[in-house]
Every structure is written in C-alpha cells, then in structure tokens.
Structure 1
Amino acid sequence: MPDYEFEMDRAMGALVGGALGDALGMPTQLLSPARIAELYGRVEDFIAPFAGHPVSKGLLAGTVTDDTEQALLLGRILVESGERFDHARWVNALLDWEREVKARGSYDLLGPSTKRAIDAINNGVPAEEAGRSGDTNGAAMRIAPVGIMMPPEPLDAFVSKVAETCEATHNTSIAIASAAAVAAAVSRGVAGGDWYAASDSAVAAAQRGATLGNWVTGGDIAARIVWAQALVRGKAKRDAIRLITDLVGTGVASQESVPAAFAVLEVAGGDPWQAAVISANLGGDTDTIGAIAAGMAGACAGFSRLPQHRVTSLTGIDMAQVQALAADLVAARMSGGRVGKAGSGKDAA
C-alpha cells in the first residue's frame, strides 16, 4: 500500500499537473488549430494571449484559469463539508468565486451548466433539481480532488461521492460519467497505478456513473473513451492530433472534451507536460482538455516528475495552499475517504 509521502507526491502531481495543462492552454482556448498556428506557431511553453483574445486577454503567460481555481475550490469545500457534501456551501463558494474573478477583470467565468444551475437555485429550485440539465465538462474539469480524497474501491462508493459533488450543477448521466472517469483515473494514479491502469479504472467508473443522475442524450462516455484511445493508438503524433480534433471533438460537451483528454493521455504516453502541449495545440476547449489530461497524467507520474522550471513559472496559484489542500485530501483518503470539518493540512498551513 502506498505511504503518505507517495500519495502526497501523486496528489500534488494531479493538482499541479492540471494547473500546467490549464495555463498552457489558456492563450489558445476557443481558437481553431489554424488560428493557433497563425498567432503562436506551435505552443510548447507558456505564452501570453494575443491582445484581442475573447476570454484570456490581459493575462500573463503561465496564468491558470477557472479550471484550476474551481478544482482547488471544490477540494476545500470537500474538506470543510465533512461526511456529506455541503451543496449550499459549494454554490455560495462558486458565486463568491465568480464575483472575485469579475472584480479582477477576468472574462473566464462560470460555465454554461454551472451558471444555469446557480441561477435556478437562486430562484428557489432545490439543489438536487437545479443540475438536471448540466451536461457540459465543468464537473469533469474540477473533479480531481475527489479522486485524491477517495480510494478507487469500492467503486459504488467512489462514484456516489463523485455524483454527490455533481448534483447541484451537473446532475446528468453524461456529466457524472465524465467526472467519474476523470476522478477514477486520478484516484488510480494516487494509488500507484500507471496511466494504462488509470484508463481502465476510468472506463469502469464511467459505466457506473452513466446509471446515475438525470438521463440525457449523447454518446456513451465509457465507450467513447475506449474508442478515442484506440483511434489514436500507434498513430504519428501529427495524425493523432488531427484525429482528435476532427473526429473526437474538442468542444465543451462532455462527450467531446473528456474522451479527447483520454486520447491525449494515450498520445502523450502518460507524460504530463506532453499531454499539456498536445492539448494546447488542439483548438477548442484547450485549457480544460489540458487540465484534465495533464492532471490525470500528473496523478500517475507524481509531482516529482513534473518539469519543475515550468511549475515555478505558473501564475495565479499559491503552491503552499495547494500543498495544504493535498495534505487534507490525502489524510481523508488514508482514513477511507472520511474527512472532518477541519483538515490537517489547512491547520498546518
């Protein structure tokens, strides 16, 4: 069984790996592959967005976005909630977060499913009803802390915790399956698994997650993960990237971006930085695909194997707070996924 230091290395790999993928994809998000090439050439390091970028304008090279900020926020709410996830605390935290990012002049705000659900809750709709139409990738992009906190088995308990955190904003079969897949890959990595094992765990979790929440139409997430990885397996990198862009899709829909992230994991051979680089050049929802793919890869590789000179170049992230959160989540994991109201890492910080 992995010890505390091992699990901390993998937990930090997940959180910081996700931040690397997020920050590298920040200046390319919403752009086409052709536009990315025209503006930046091939993105292989942190760069500042062009002056007229629709959501990233004004940000410094290496700045993290909503993907990282919401993942860290969810992690803290998990720690503060105790045994049962506190939906009211989570919704209020998201509202506070959006007010804060607006105050700093950010254009990267709450995603469509989250915004729609919070508006409904503010109009008196119960949390368990508000997320009934949330099927985009917002839950998957921020789910890594659940994978750190919860051991991958028993699977039903693991996926139930994922679904619990999705309820208020993404309470649909597609969103829960997507979030369960990503969380399971992270959890398997923290347990010591490689990216192959993580992919297998993801498929099983997605199959279970698809039976929960409000059923909505769309391709089966587990099947699309298997298909997307097989599609790019053994292909030259350039050809694989084109297949992801043209066939898998890189939009905010869960059934595009989440299988795309697993395809990236395959092409990168589990290397976190390569996963970030590939994602940044795909076009579409590059920061989210990068955050998911590099976060899963980071969980399987560990923080110690991340490119440290690029970690120190990240902007907008407090590494001491990330380490404190990781410590709380790992402590909860080592107690079987149970966490008290006050976490050890937070107290230590």
Structure 2
Amino acid sequence: MVGAAVGDALGGPVEGWSPEQIVERYGHRVQGIVGPYHEDWRTARPIAPYHKGDGHVTDDTLMTHALVRVYEKVRDHLDAYAVAEHLVPDLIGTPRWIPELEAEALLLQRVFLAEKWIVTRLHYGHADPREAGVGNVVNCGAAMYMAPVGLVNAGHPAGAYAEALDVAGAHQSSYGREAAGVFAAAVAAACEPGACPASVVEAALLLAKDGTRAAIEAVCDTAARYADFEAALGPLREAVAPFDTVGPAYRQPSLGARRPSRLHSIEELPIALGMLLVGGGDFRRTVLGAVNYGRDCDSIATMCGALVGALQGARAVPAEWSEEVSRASRLDLRAPAVALAAVSREVFARDRQRRDAHERAFTMIAGA
C-alpha cells in the first residue's frame, strides 16, 4: 500500500509526457520526487488546477484508500453491489484532503470522468451494479485501485482475479475490467512466500484472457532481455503498441481509443509487469523505470510500487520517499495498510469456516 502511493506520487508530475519530454523538462531522468512539469501549474493546460508533483498523490491513491474504507465497512469479500452501497457514498458524501487541489473537497470533485461514471450510473442511473461499467471508456480506471483486492486474497491469485472482476464490473468493461482482475491476481501472487518477479508474471499469464494476456506476454518477453530501464523504455513501448488503443500521441488519442475489444489491452498493466522484470523487483529501479516511461506513468508506477511492496514488504520502499509523500500529501500511508491487514485476517477466518462447511456438506452428499 505504501509502495503504491509512493509510485503514484513520483509518476504524477510527468503523467502524459514522453520519455524525451521528461528529460527536456528536468534535464535528466526523474530520480525521485520532483516539482510539477509546468511551473505555472495553476493555469497551465491540460494540468490546471491540479498541483501534480512535490510528493502529491493522485486519484490512484485516493481511490485505493477509498476501496480500503469499503473493506473496513463490509469486512468480507466485496462485489459490485458493495461499490454501489459503500464506494459511491464515499465519493459523494465526505469531504477529504485532496493533495492536488490543496483543499478539502469531495473525492468526486478530483476523480476524472471515467470514475465519475460510477456515481452517474449507480447513484443517478440506478444501473445494475454488475453491469454498470458497460459503456464507460475502457482504460486503467478500475485496475489502478485494485491492489486491496489482491491483498485481501493474498496468496490466492485466482480468488483475487474473480473478486476484482466482480468489483470492477461496476466501473469498467472489456479489457479494462480484465486488467483489474489480472492486477489484483498479480498482487496476490506477489504476496506468496518465495515469490519473485517471474512468478508474479507467470501467475498473471495463467489467468489473463484475450488481448490482455497477449500484451503481457509480448511485453514481458521483451522485458526479459533487459536489466536497465533506460535501454528498455523504447522496446517496451514497441511491444505494447499493437495492443494499445490510445496510439502514439498520448494526449491525442486515436479514433479507436478506449473502446471495448477482445484484441486489445490497457497499456499500464503489461508495462508495469515488464518493468517489474527489468527492475528485478528492486523498488527504485522498477518504479523509476515506470515513471520515466511517461504516458500514464502515475498508474504504471502505482502498480509497480504495489507489486514490489507485496513482494518485499515495507522495507523495500525508500523511507525518504514514503515519509516525504506522506508529509506533502497530508496522508498517513500506513494506516490504510494496517486496517486492510486486519480485515484480511478476518476474511481469511471466514473463508476457512466457509470451506469447512462446504467440505462437511460435500462429504455428506458424496459419501465417505
């Protein structure tokens, strides 16, 4: 959880730009927390009015923490109905500190249209929560905050995949929903004792479907040839390009951008898994590779940070980064993690009771 927030904050200021533009702006690759891409961020388009940079987390972290709060209320596995009953009221009912706005506001006022869709469809449209994601743009909106699902299902990738697909059905469809399931599964796999970057990718490939699986395979096959993110930036983009609907100009999406398809994939998840291999599970190398990749790099770095954190625990995250992000964003990055750990233990205990009951019933049905 801490790793995801740090990755988010590091990637936020350079989101949407290319690796070349990042170097042009800062004079070098991003090596840690940096200021906004535009010094006049209050008025600069398309950034205004968000203060991206200086250790501020973005909507990736805010949505992740919101999902943790849902788990705290339900204290069990979640589904699409939990999104309608708990996440939507959280988005529209309680003002919270929004680092990029430097003010208290409703979370709804910070998230973008793909996340506002949840409120529109479920609160105002009264859609069936299981189908509410149909019609939304297909992007990484659901995947970016699915790490908690992986942690509640730690060590059980298939369970994380199924639960995340159900939860994400209220938000996304097509390969956006698929990516949410696969990312949650990857986090669950990263929690397994003895896990490594290669085993995380293997678990993701076992569950991923259609274009998402093909994109992960293509990117990770390429990533396996590199141990330095600088050399890997171009090749990884080339590997994912056939599956990415946005196109080469990130801020000028192609005509087919973010439309449902069984042939395509979001860009962020395959690149995150690829950078996990390139970085060898090292937090700095992995997350900085994601950040300097550009494009939707705050979400890519969020996923990378979550995966490395799940592999290695809190010790993997540089303290100078986590402490500064916590201070700058006015957020306790550890409190949601502690709360989620407690919920995960309760859910596991309930799962054991349910499994025991099922075993007793099946034994009576099937005979000794």
TM-score computed with the length of structure 2 as normaliser: 0.76
Query: What is the deviation of 1:305?
Result: 2.4
After TM superposition, the structure 1 = structure 2 runs for residues 265-280 of structure 1, keeping only pairs within 5 Å, are 265-280=276-291
2:57 maps to 1:43? no
After TM superposition, the structure 1 = structure 2 runs for residues 223-242 of structure 1, keeping only pairs within 5 Å, are 223-235=214-226, 237-242=229-234
Partner of 1:55: 47
Larger mean Cα displacement after TM superposition, 89-98 or 267-276: 89-98
**Residues 224 and 60 of structure 1: is their aligned pair in 2 closer, same or farther, counting only changes over 3 Å?**
closer
Partner of 2:315: 304
Amino acid at match of 2:152: M
Encode CA deviations 1:102-140: one digit per residue, 9 max, x unaligned: 654899932443223422331333322321134210111
CA distance in 1, matches of 2:108, 2:297: 16
2:63 maps to 1:70? yes
After TM superposition, the structure 1 = structure 2 runs for residues 76-95 of structure 1, keeping only pairs within 5 Å, are 76-83=69-76, 84-85=78-79, 86-87=82-83, 88-95=85-92
2:145 maps to 1:181? no
After TM superposition, the structure 1 = structure 2 runs for residues 257-296 of structure 1, keeping only pairs within 5 Å, are 257-296=268-307
CA distance in 1, matches of 2:205, 2:212: 8
Query: What is the deviation of 1:184?
Result: 1.3
2:138 maps to 1:147? no
Query: What is the deviation of 1:19?
Result: 1.1
Partner of 1:31: 17
Query: What is the deviation of 1:224?
Result: 1.0
Amino acid at match of 2:129: A
SS at match of 1:72: helix
Encode CA deviations 1:26-50: one digit per residue, 9 max, x unaligned: 1101122222111112100101103
Partner of 1:110: 111
CA distance in 2, matches of 1:180, 1:143: 8
CA distance in 2, matches of 1:109, 1:183: 24
Say if 1:148 and 1:329, in contact at 8 Å, map to a contact too. Answer: no
CA distance in 2, matches of 1:44, 1:97: 35
CA distance in 2, matches of 1:184, 1:59: 29
Query: What is the deviation of 1:228?
Result: 0.4
Name structure 2 gaps, 5 residues minimum: 251-257, 259-264, 354-368
Say if 2:279 and 2:289, in contact at 8 Å, map to a contact too. Answer: yes
CA RMSD of aligned residues (A): 2.8
CA distance in 2, matches of 1:91, 1:39: 38
Partner of 1:321: 335
Say if 1:74 and 1:145, in contact at 8 Å, map to a contact too. Answer: yes
CA distance in 2, matches of 1:324, 1:232: 33
CA distance in 2, matches of 1:128, 1:165: 8
Encode CA deviations 1:157-193: one digit per residue, 9 max, x unaligned: 43221122112111x2312321122111111222222
Say if 1:131 and 1:168, in contact at 8 Å, map to a contact too. Answer: yes
Say if 1:23 and 1:64, in contact at 8 Å, map to a contact too. Answer: yes
Identity %: 25
After TM superposition, the structure 1 = structure 2 runs for residues 201-220 of structure 1, keeping only pairs within 5 Å, are 201-207=203-209, 220=211
Encode CA deviations 1:266-311: one digit per residue, 9 max, x unaligned: 1111112222111111111110010011211211121122212222
CA distance in 2, matches of 1:225, 1:337: 31
| Higher Cα Rg, which structure | 2
For residue 243 of structure 1, the aligned residue among 227, 235, 242 is 235
Larger mean Cα displacement after TM superposition, 131-140 or 118-127: 118-127
Amino acid at match of 1:174: Y
SS at match of 1:46: coil
For residue 129 of structure 1, the aligned residue among 109, 128, 131 is 131
**Residues 261 and 220 of structure 1: is their aligned pair in 2 closer, same or farther, counting only changes over 3 Å?**
same
For residue 171 of structure 2, the aligned residue among 156, 169, 179 is 169
**Residues 133 and 334 of structure 1: is their aligned pair in 2 closer, same or farther, counting only changes over 3 Å?**
same
Say if 1:146 and 1:162, in contact at 8 Å, map to a contact too. Answer: yes
CA distance in 2, matches of 1:326, 1:313: 22
CA distance in 2, matches of 1:320, 1:238: 31
Specify which structure has the bigger relative contact order, considering alpha-carbon pairs within 8 angstroms and separated by 6 or more residues.
1
CA distance in 2, matches of 1:204, 1:224: 13
TM-score computed with the length of structure 1 as normaliser: 0.80
Larger mean Cα displacement after TM superposition, 143-152 or 81-90: 81-90
CA distance in 1, matches of 2:74, 2:156: 21
Query: What is the deviation of 1:246?
Result: 3.9
